[in-house]
Amino acid sequence: MNPSPHNNPTAAAVVGQQSPPTVEPDSLFAQQSVAGEETPWWQRNFLLQQPTLVNAWNAVFPTVVVNIFGIVLFLRMGWIVGTAGLFQAIVVLALCTLFSSVTVLSAIGICERCQIRSGGIYFLVSHVLGKRIGGAVGLIYTFGQACATSLVALGFGESMAKLAGIFNPVAIKTLSMLVLVILNAMNFAGLRFIIRLQLLLMCFLALAIGDFLLGAVLFTPQDPEAGIGELSAERLFQNWHSHYGPSNCTPFSELPGIEDHNSAELGQENFFSVFGILFANFIGVLAGVNMSGNLADPLRNIAEGELSALGASFALCFLIMLILGASVDR
């Protein structure tokens, strides 16, 4: 005869322990108990403490692509192909992509063997070489990014001033500093605003590259005086070999429209000078790694976003070089 829990106080106690009071599944207390967090619900709902989580395709990929397709691509790619020749320009592009891929794969390997936290470059280097070296490398990397940002802002100011027909160096620098102030204000606005802005920049970048590719293939402009013509295999073979010449530097005080325009001779261009200019485009290849603290799945997002961005950038730059070599005279 089985004892009843009503007749056995010990069994009744066990039954009482095994049957806790039920809680409605949609109550705030139940949600907080299941999550095991002590953060109040009002802070969780409004994301006052939790980071904004993003993924590979809305954060890492557009960030790396926007960093790679910088001022060098739009203002110096024609000079690179015309100076180094199409063959050596492709070699330079392949080397830049190779070195960047080694860096990205090293970062992914470090992320696989340690718990990923925020910190970006400092986090990766400090896990391999220690905190002191990691701090030094992170500081140098930060200053390098600041210099790269200033160069991009200066290139933007120069381009906009030329479009407006202004050749005053003071106006160019003023416009560049205004751009830096706007960028700082955007950083203070928060990560969500930055992500949306990068997606918008990605759309503009896609339109610009698409306009170049379609215009070169379908609507090739005819401007013999500027050296622009139809796509031609003969012109491509003429631009195949290098044509290194004297290096000329034009300071801001000697821009077109200013008197006493004299170029300063700085020596002979060579393979490594061209490589240094194009490789500056790949400085921001680890921009996706710097977002490690805000990624939903850091290891997978970094690997997918970084490698996809590198592959897409190499393919587009290679195609742009081919079009420039086949349609533009030296």
- DSSP states of 51-102 as a string? PPPB-IIIIIHHHHHHHHSSHHHHHHHHHHHHHHHHHHHHHHHHHHHHHHHH
Single-letter amino acid, residue 79:
W
What pLDDT, on the 0 to 100 scale, is given for residue 124?
78
pLDDT of residue 311: 92
- 121, 73, 75: which is closest to 96 by C-alpha? 73
Q: Which amino acid is at 110?
A: I
| SS3 (DSSP) at 248 | strand
Q: Distance from CA of residue 318 to its chain's centroid?
A: 18
Distance CA 120, CA 127 (A): 11
Please state, in angstroms and rounded to a whole number, the distance separating the CA atoms of residues 284 and 13: 65
HSE value, Cβ hemisphere, 13 Å, CA-based, for 61? 16
The neighbour count for residue 300, using CB atoms within 10 Å, is 14
pLDDT tens, residue by residue, 130-182:
888 888 888 888 887 888 888 888 888 888 888 888 888 888 888 999 988 98
The per-residue pLDDT for 51 is: 57
Q: What is the pLDDT of residue 267?
A: 67
Determine the pLDDT at residue 15: 45
Mean pLDDT for each consecutive 10-residue tract of the chain (330 residues)? 52 48 47 51 46 75 86 84 91 94 88 74 79 84 82 85 84 89 82 80 88 80 70 86 72 51 61 88 82 79 89 92 86
> How much is the pLDDT for 138?
82
What are 72-116's pLDDT values in tens digits? 788 888 889 989 999 999 999 999 999 999 989 988 888 877 777
Rounded distance between C-alpha atoms, residue 209 and residue 77, angstroms: 13
Q: Which amino acid is residue 152, in one-letter code?
A: V
Predicted pLDDT at 45: 44
Q: Is 239 helix (H, G, I), strand (E, B) or coil?
A: coil
d(CA 127, CA 140): 17
Question: What's the rounded Cα separation, in Å, for the pair 92 and 72?
Answer: 14
On whether the CB atoms of residues 310 and 285 are closer than 8 A, the answer is: yes
Q: Name 77's Cβ contacts closer than 8 Å, sequence gap at least 6.
A: 317, 320, 321, 324
Rounded-to-5 percentages of helix, strand, coil across the chain: 70, 5, 25
Which tokens sit at 2? 């089985």
Task: Write the CA distances from 196 to 54, 143, 149, 190, 285, integer angstroms.
Answer: 11, 25, 19, 10, 20
